[in-house]
Amino acid sequence: MRKKLLRVLLPGLIVAAAVALAACGGSSDSTSSSGDANSQFAAVTEPPSDAQQGGDLTVIAASDVDYIDPGAAYYQFTFMVTSATQSSLTAYAPGDIEKASPLLATGEPEVSDDGKTITYTLRDDVKFSPPVNRVATAADVKYAIERSLLPGVPNGFVQTYLSGVQGIDKAIKEAQDNPTGGAPDISGITAPDDTTLEIKLDNTTSIGVIGALSLPVSAPVPEEYAEKYDAENPSTYGEHQVATGPYMIENDSSGNLTGYTPNKEIHLVRNPNWKASDGDFRPAYLDDITIQEGFADTVSAAKKVLTGNGLVNGDFTTPPAAIKQAAQEGEEGQLSLTPSGGNRYVALNTQMAPFDDINVRKAVIANSNRVDLRNTRGGELTGPVATHYLPPDFPGFEEGGGLEGPDLDFIANPEGDPDLAAEYMKKAGYSSGKCEGDCKIVMVGDDSPPGSDTAEVVKSQLEQLGFDVDLQKVTHDIMYTKFCSTPSNAPQVCPNVGWLKDFNDGQSMLDPTFNGENVVPENNSNWPQLNVPEVNKAINDATLIDDQGERNQAWGDVDTMIGEQAPAIPYIWDDQANIQSADVAGVINKANANWDLAFTSLKP
């Protein structure tokens, strides 16, 4: 999802947009680190009371979904589609922050007293779209989860979050040994009847499992229809999928998607088998939704949305120039700023000199002017300056210190504190307060703005401390896959990393990124390679807490513990800037930080 993060937040590469970003970043003199300044653009999470039924909407997008297959979908923009076409067990309604609401399930999942069994009760009135046309059952959900273990359905998160489900290891092995042999059976997931789904766990990891099952992987898939597609590697079910939500991707009578052309268009029409019901919180006002892709220049795409009719932005965040225009000239409600649930930081490699010394790391953070770093991404309107890792509007955010941040001197001043930095350098043994002797540092950053701008600012900040920085610039993908995510080849500093939540739980934010046990030889996401036993333990313990309040506190504490280790310079919690045409009554799904198509309508 890093790559997807890139696509959500950095559809860069485009000179015009980049210039606009750089120019805007440079001109912003605001030093505010608060998100309050943007409250006038707060997201609307409820449709108007007189919302109009019908109408066509066009979503303007730069790129395509990651996988059209809901079983593999793992990207904000894809979730925008699946939230309209699928019915997962639970799902985040527009205003949901802490946890998801029941959708295919009739109510909250029940967790047994020992915390090791989760039981969902399913609605009996949800039908698959044509050509399947039958009622979806618990067995279809079991199949959906099982098929996501197939190598041909490259799901990026199930194996992580469902690792505590009984029998999953055996199922994973089975699928890998025989990729075209059909979905493997997970013994811990059973469907005793059509409306009951039971999940047995080895451990009390129910919150993580329930969280993961709020994602479209839990949307039912009819086995008798899908198995022939799943017998291929890669599976082609995505191109033949059926829907359980109010909308479906247009298809022909045999189920072939006619409404999807990769990189070009996704056309959603109403699902004739879907009916409004008490069990489904989605009003589904619109008749027809076209997602038009390929708008590489986000500046002109944003302008088109702002001046046009019936348009909203899709996968791209509005570039700063267009945000400014929308803020100043647009009609009320055309711009909305929503915390994206993501952070960005400069990772310091804790396993390599000189950053294996915590005092050097603290000095670097203390010295850093994080407002300058944020300005490289467009300044105040793009989000508050980060002080820790859990983002605003996220469970554990307040417990982790809120906007002010934890009580740590080296992170206290967003504009940096050179004197304090010098002190920490002295503690690290550099008597002059600056690095002396062999001060060579390798840094691998993006080769295109805004990432490359951030990298340059980081470089100059490190040079202030006497470091001799060798900045290598490569594409964003190469930066990750060849350098920062491959520990054996990782540089001392990775200035362009960041993380976007999977679902609203601290585990999805902090476990992959700071748990030392999760450092792997490739595709590593713990970029600072932080490996502190107390932190690891605190993270592992927190994943097992199944009381929401306690859990939030625990993740907040973990967040602070990580901050104390000074593994990185957190510098922004991105706000997602979403825009709509003046005639659209858009509703933002806060958890997805994007338009909720099933709630959006056209103004009467």
d(CA 401, CA 398): 5
DSSP assignment of 331-361, as one string? PTTSEEEEEEEEEEEEEE-TTSTTTTSHHHH
Nearer to another protein, 239 or 356 (CB): 239
Q: Which of 267, 256, 317 is nearest to 292 (CA)?
A: 267
Q: Which of 264, 316, 253, 310 is nearest to 287 (CA)?
A: 310
Tokens 């600012």 map to which residue? 457
Query: Looking at 61-69, 123-131, 422-430, 553-561, which segment touches another protein (CB under 8 A)?
Result: 61-69
521 binds another protein (CB under 8 A): yes
Tokens 């944003």 map to which residue? 302
CB 158 within 8 A of CB 216: no
Query: Looking at 29-37, 285-293, 354-362, 401-409, which segment touches another protein (CB under 8 A)?
Result: 285-293
**Residue choice 106, 160, 196, 413 for contact with another protein (CB under 8 A):** 160
Q: Which of 196, 199, 130 is nearest to 163 (CA)?
A: 199
Number of residues that bind another protein (CB under 8 A): 62
473 binds another protein (CB under 8 A): no
60 binds another protein (CB under 8 A): yes
> What dihedral angle (degrees, nearest 10) is formed by the CA atoms of 335, 337, 343, 346?
60
d(CA 354, CA 496): 20
Nearer to another protein, 95 or 154 (CB): 154
From first CA to last CA, the distance across the chain in angstroms is 38
22-42 b/e (C-beta count within 10 Å ≥ 16 → b): bebbeebeeeebebeebeebe
15 binds another protein (CB under 8 A): yes
The two three-digit tokens of residue 334, written as one number: 């055309």
Query: Cα 204 to the chain's mean position, in Å?
Result: 25
397 binds another protein (CB under 8 A): no
The two three-digit tokens of residue 28, written as one number: 């912003």
Nearer to another protein, 39 or 254 (CB): 254
283 binds another protein (CB under 8 A): no
The distance of closest approach from Cβ of residue 385 to another protein in the complex, given in angstroms and rounded to an integer, is 25
304 binds another protein (CB under 8 A): yes
CB 117 within 8 A of CB 125: no
331 binds another protein (CB under 8 A): no
Site string for another protein, 481-520 (x = CB under 8 A): xx--x----------------x---------x-------x
**Residue choice 26, 48, 294, 604 for contact with another protein (CB under 8 A):** 294
The distance of closest approach from Cβ of residue 264 to another protein in the complex, given in angstroms and rounded to an integer, is 4
Nearer to another protein, 353 or 520 (CB): 520
**Residue choice 261, 460, 540, 548 for contact with another protein (CB under 8 A):** 261
Site string for another protein, 522-551 (x = CB under 8 A): xx-x--------------------------
Sign of the alpha-carbon dihedral angle for 41, 45, 48, 53 = positive
The distance of closest approach from Cβ of residue 474 to another protein in the complex, given in angstroms and rounded to an integer, is 6
Nearer to another protein, 72 or 347 (CB): 72
Residue numbers of the site for another protein (CB under 8 A)? 1-4, 13-16, 58, 60, 63-64, 66, 72, 74, 151-152, 154-157, 159-160, 172, 176, 179, 233-234, 236, 261-265, 290, 292-297, 300-301, 303-304, 307-308, 474-475, 477-478, 480-482, 485, 502, 512, 520-523, 525
